[in-house]
């Protein structure tokens, strides 16, 4: 019996299309949309495509993106979906477009903790409960990385584990349980330990290793057992300290990595190819290769070799938390977004330079009307809360003005009204805006109580003041990620450079600016 849980994914609004195999096109053309945790399995699939002389392509999208596409009138464009968990298909595929959903492997979501930190906390070689993690967060001795529960399966899984523990490990979470003040208080206190968030499990793991290479050491990270293995393999190659695996004794959520077929009416050949692919993925030899990546293969005598040095053991029995009904999961996700998550502190730098005139200005205004409309953002679990603080900074060759508000609905309406009076004109200097954003963030009281971020939306090349800005950025602690959203013919190199230096990322808003702004919300 497969264990159903939550999907992971990149909280990318736009998919990262990767070429698969193309060996003459004698077989069918076949496309897969997947969560980011499956990138390590792409070469395995490509070998099968090559054998069948098929042209295969992968697209990596976020949890919510896959779910919303299934729910939409158009549906997903690809021939197959491969999320981390079948729960997201259950929740969103109301039209039952996905057929033959088949589990490929299982992955529990656990806590990876720097081994030296685990030793200090006295957790090495001992069972650790969620209450122990809560106590460490409350006394200030533990912070962690965790993906957004409303954007990524690994974050949703960790969050549901926290809820289950706060409820005393009831067999299943029921609707009324979520209203209990003591439950909300315990989970809110746990989520206060989030130091960085993201919309992608794979990106979060890269953040950890890339930061370690720079000498920046985070305490811990919630992620898949298999992704922690991949992370530790990279850390070992860098000569860095490994993450110690903490399997919460209360129980964990286990992802079932299902792949399913979506029939677009292209003929029996395509469905036959899918069925053959599933048989291939579930064959003994391939299951052994999948197991070697750290994934669990139920009812099979194959597994990656345990590594006691960091407590990794994919043969270990874990207490799997039973998933609530889809309606209860949706209620839990809404609760996370509006009441329990760590508040965000967000500065939005909006390019109103002359080149944004016409269509650019119209699309930017439309994006702001979406971003500050609770009715719309609530549909995609990206809504703000009154605890969130927001600064909107329109800029051209300099900062024009600043508008400050909160996630309160009336404040959001005020921000929309203020931005609607801005019109395109002048040059472009995104660094002046980013510097003003840093001034605001650094002056914020109780900064550690928020997840801070700067978001720059621009379509033009800025005057090159990157060196001056980075000196200013380095003086602010904690360091603030600076995300970019491209538009039009933006010089992506500048945005990429600032995102890389500040451990952030760039989103492509050229096709859909609204989706790009929604995606960046998963990282803040």
Give the global pTM. Answer: 0.92
Are residues 45 and 277 in contact, defined by beta-carbon separation less than 8 angstroms? yes
* Predicted pLDDT of residue 299: 85
Paired with 399 in beta bridges are 395
Residues 332, 343: Cα–Cα separation, whole Å: 17
- Quote the distance between the C-alpha of residue 380 and its chain's center: 14
Q: How open is the CA angle 488-381-376, to the nearest 5 degrees? A: 65
Q: What CATH number belongs to 16-106+256-298?
A: 3.40.190.10
Token reading at 448: 């550690």
Between CA 256 and CA 85 the distance in angstroms is 5
CA distance 337 to 123: 31
Q: What's the pLDDT score for residue 388?
A: 97
- The domain ranges of the chain are 16-106+256-298, 107-254+318-334, 343-521
Look up residue 40 and give its two tokens. 């390590």
Query: What is the gyration radius of the CA atoms in the chain, in angstroms?
Result: 23
The continuous run of DSSP H or E covering 290 comes out as helix 284-292
In angstroms, the CA 498 to CA 138 distance is 33
Task: Answer whether 300's CB lies under 8 Å from 281's CB.
Answer: no
Q: What is the mean pLDDT of each run of 10 residues along the chain (524 residues)?
A: 33 35 66 94 97 95 85 94 93 94 97 97 97 97 97 95 94 92 97 96 96 95 98 97 97 96 95 97 97 94 96 95 92 96 97 92 93 93 95 96 97 97 93 95 94 93 77 90 89 90 93 86 91
Contact assessment for residue 33 and residue 78, using Cβ atoms and an 8 Å cutoff: yes
Cβ contact 109:255 at 8 Å:
yes
- What is the DSSP code string of 164-185? HHHTTS-SS--GGGGG-HHHHH
Q: Using DSSP bridges, classify how beta strands 243-246 and 98-103 pair: parallel, antiparallel or unpaired.
A: unpaired
C-alpha–C-alpha distance, residues 187 and 68, integer Å: 27
Query: In 48-136, which ranges are E strands?
Result: 55-60, 80-82, 98-103, 107-114
Q: d(Cα 133, Cα 57) in Å, to the nearest integer? A: 41
| Residue recorded with tokens 């330079």 | 353
In this structure, what is the dihedral angle of CA atoms 192, 198, 202, 206, given to the nearest 10 degrees? -80
β partners of residue 57? 19, 31
Nearest Cα neighbor of 95 from 110, 75, 79, 111 is: 75
Measured from the Cβ of residue 313, the count of other Cβ atoms closer than 10 Å reads: 17
Tell me how far apart the alpha carbons of residues 346 and 363 are, in angstroms, rounded to a whole number: 21
Cα–Cα distance, 366 to 487 (Å, whole number): 14
Helices (H) and strands (E) in the chain, counts: 19, 18
Query: What integer pLDDT is reported at residue 464 of this predicted model?
Result: 66
DSSP state letter for 195: E
- The CATH architecture to which 343-521 belongs is 3-Layer(aba) Sandwich (3.40)
H/E element, 413:
helix 409-420
**What superfamily does domain 107-254+318-334 belong to in CATH?**
Periplasmic binding protein-like II (3.40.190.10)
Q: Do 107-254+318-334 and 16-106+256-298 fall under one CATH topology?
A: yes
pLDDT the model gives residue 145: 98
Q: 2: number of CA atoms within 13 Å, CB side?
A: 19
Query: If DSSP states are collapsed to H, E and C, what string results for 205-271?
Result: HHHHHHHHHCCCCCCEEEEEHHHHHHHHHHHHHCCCCCEEEECCCCCECEECCEEEEECCCCCHHHH
State how far the Cα of 166 lies from the Cα of 340, in Å rounded to an integer. 13
Helix axes 359-371, 409-420, angle to 10 degrees: 170
User: 């650019």: which residue's tokens?
Assistant: 360
- 178 token code pair: 């979520």
Contact 63, 157 (CB under 8 A): no
> Alpha helix (H) ranges present in 6-94?
42-51, 63-71, 87-92
């Amino acid at each position: 019996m497969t264990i159903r849980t939550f999907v992971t994914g990149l909280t990318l609004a736009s998919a990262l299309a990767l070429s698969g195999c193309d060996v003459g096109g004698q077989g069918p053309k076949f496309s897969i949309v997947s969560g980011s945790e499956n990138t390590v399995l792409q070469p395995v699939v490509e070998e099968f495509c090559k054998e069948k002389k098929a042209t295969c392509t992968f697209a990596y999208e976020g949890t919510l993106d896959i779910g919303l596409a299934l729910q939409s009138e158009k549906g997903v464009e690809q021939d197959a979906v491969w999320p981390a968990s079948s729960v997201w298909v259950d929740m969103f595929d109301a039209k039952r477009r996905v057929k033959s959903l088949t589990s490929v492997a299982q992955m529990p979501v656990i806590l990876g903790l720097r081994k030296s930190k685990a030793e200090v906390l006295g957790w090495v070689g001992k069972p650790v409960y969620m209450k122990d993690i809560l106590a460490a967060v409350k006394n200030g001795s533990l912070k962690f990385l965790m993906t957004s529960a409303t954007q990524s399966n690994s974050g949703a899984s960790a969050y549901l584990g926290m809820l289950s523990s706060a409820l005393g490990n009831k067999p299943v979470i029921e609707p009324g349980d979520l209203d209990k003040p003591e439950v909300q208080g315990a989970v809110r206190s746990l989520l206060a330990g989030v130091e960085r968030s993201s919309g992608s499990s794979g990106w979060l793991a890269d953040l950890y290793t890339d930061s370690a290479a720079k000498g920046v050491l985070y305490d811990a990270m919630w992620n898949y057992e298999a992704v922690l293995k991949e992370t530790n393999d990279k850390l070992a190659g860098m000569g860095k300290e490994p993450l110690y695996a903490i399997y919460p004794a209360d129980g964990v959520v286990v992802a079932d990595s299902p792949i399913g077929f979506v029939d677009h009416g292209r003929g029996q050949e395509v469905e036959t190819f899918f069925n053959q692919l599933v048989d291939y993925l579930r064959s003994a030899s391939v299951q052994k290769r999948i197991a070697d990546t750290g994934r669990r293969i139920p009812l099979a005598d194959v597994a990656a070799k345990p590594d006691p040095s960091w407590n990794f053991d994919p043969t270990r029995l874990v207490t799997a938390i039973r998933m609530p009904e889809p309606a209860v999961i949706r209620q839990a996700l809404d609760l996370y977004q509006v009441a329990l998550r760590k508040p965000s502190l967000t500065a939005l730098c909006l390019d109103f330079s002359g080149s944004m005139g016409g269509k650019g200005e119209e699309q930017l205004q439309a994006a702001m009307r979406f971003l500050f409309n609770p009715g719309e953002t609530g549909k995609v679990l990206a809504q703000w809360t009154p605890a969130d603080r927001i600064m909107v900074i329109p800029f051209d060759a300099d900062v024009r003005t600043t508008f400050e508000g909160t996630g309160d609905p009336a404040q959001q309406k005020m921000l929309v009204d203020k931005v609607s009076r801005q019109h395109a004109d002048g040059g472009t200097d995104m660094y002046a805006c980013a510097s003003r954003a840093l001034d605001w963030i650094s002056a914020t009281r109780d900064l550690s109580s928020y997840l801070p971020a700067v978001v720059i939306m621009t379509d033009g090349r800025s005057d090159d003041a990157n060196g001056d800005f980075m000196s200013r950025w380095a003086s602010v602690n904690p360091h603030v990620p600076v995300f970019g959203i491209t538009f039009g013919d933006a010089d992506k190199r500048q945005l990429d450079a600032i995102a890389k230096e500040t451990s952030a990322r760039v989103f492509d808003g050229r096709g859909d600016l609204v989706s790009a702004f929604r995606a960046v919300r998963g990282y803040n």
